[in-house]
Structure 1
Amino acid sequence: MDTLNFGRAVLTWLQGGVTHLDGGAMFGVVPKPLWSKKYPVNDNNQIELRTDPILIQLDGKKLLIDTGIGKGKLSEKQKRNFGALEESTIHDSLHALGLTALDIDYVLMTHLHFDHACGLTEWQNGELQPVFPKATIIVNEIEWQEMKDPNIRSANTYWEENWRPIEQDVKTFQDQVEVVPGVEMIHTGGHSNGHSIIRMEMDNDILLHMADIMPTHAHQHKLWVLAYDDYPVTSVHAKEKWMEYGYHKQAWYTFYHDAHFRALRFNEEGEPINKIERNTSS
């Protein structure tokens, strides 16, 4: 498994599954001749998108960023439509690290779309149960309310089976919250109304997890936002703010969806100066 040492923290990418979605939808109004130079595309105009949770081990605490697409949560039709060629094996990933799902203290949900939230619950003896029964699940209040009461459009991605079994474990926040010292969640909106990013600071070094306002390295340009975004202009402004901030701080940027890079670090001009490529043999 791929790792990044960041100050006192160790980040490890777990195996959360994969989807293959339409490249045009993932890059919105950006013409294909432009985005296809940045990110590989198959003959069906689909791009590979990992759904790999990031485990943060810090000061004895274990935090997880998002949860993958789960196992046994998608119908065969959904697997075809979403290009889900691989389901989550997160239990195996944790076991390889000498851990179990019971060891997770916090689950940081950047948002609750199915490809991030299906891994919150699993089938046990014919019933859906929490995957991380001892964890506190942190999510923005706006996102949580929309999850429970989706509109006609968002009902396609906010599923009751992903929230009903874990509602007693959820803790919401408004603008931002420090989950543990050095790790905070910040509401941005954009991709969804309650979308959040994660900021880590260790010894004046900065790490940003931009979630789905920058789902892959190819989305670095502030105007390259998704057709899936509910509020694309909000995404643009949020990305502009946090890219400028991160460039100035020479921050690391980590990815949940990127099939090629786990993390990149940029200088003040926005040029990559460090990288962690995904180990495709893992």
Structure 2
Amino acid sequence: MQNVVITGASSGIGAATALHLDQQGARVFAGVENEGDGATALAGASSRLQRITLDVSDDASIAAAFETIRSQVGDAGLDGVVNNAGIGYAAPLELLPREDFRRLLDVNVLGQVAVTQAALPLIRLGHGRVVIVGSVGGILASQFAGAYHASKFALEAIADVWRQELDPDDVPVILIEPSTIATPIWDKAIAYLDQLTASDDKRLKRYRERLTSFRETLHSADEHGKAPKDVAEVIAEALTTKKPDTRYVVGADGKLATALRPLIPDRIADKLAERTTA
């Protein structure tokens, strides 16, 4: 590896991947939403690593970021783009504001597409690869995370289509499907849920007891999820192995869930989803 772009690199899987690839000698362009983001999480990196403002929901930010990247990599192009940026809102679909649903899809789905579109000319130059960080939550969906699951199911289709469309150019497209990983997304989801449940919306009454239990599930995921470095190591393999798989599931519970899902009835899958989706 020489040149790799990672989105959502200010924390969690993105930061862990940026540091891991940096340790392997790659020149990493660590995309962060706002200038100054990720300073602490990426403090241990070498001087090769460059934090770059890259808001995946802003076309101007994407264009400016890739103009900078292009000027630095030149004809060497990119060895990889890792589409990792993502957010999550915890709420019953009945109560989720439309603008929040739109924002989530803009970051988690449209942002990944827009970044890949911008990266492809450099990927072709460098004979590089496209990595999309999805989730086991794109195979199994659980209540109160409907918007997040919708975005991850969408990425499953996008990865399949792009794999076919880019195959004639010999550009591998690889989907990473983590199960439960301990990242800041859980704290943010809990904060969003707490704000929601503090409202006086009368529709909350029918959900409140289940939302309390769901909050504990989020807290447990944050405490007991696998380390982001586990995903970073798989992403590094996807970028460097001679013949990468089309998808990698990270986590034993995720591997079990993806194997069982086509074989079990929906009602059983609903229960399984509560235990394994990220």
TM range (shorter): 0.3 to 0.5
In the superposition, the TM-score normalised over structure 1's length comes to 0.33
Q: Which has the higher strand share?
A: 1
Q: Which has the higher helix share?
A: 2
Structure exhibiting the larger radius of gyration computed from Cα positions: 2
Give the structure, 1 or 2, with the largest relative contact order (CA under 8 Å, sep 6 or more): 2
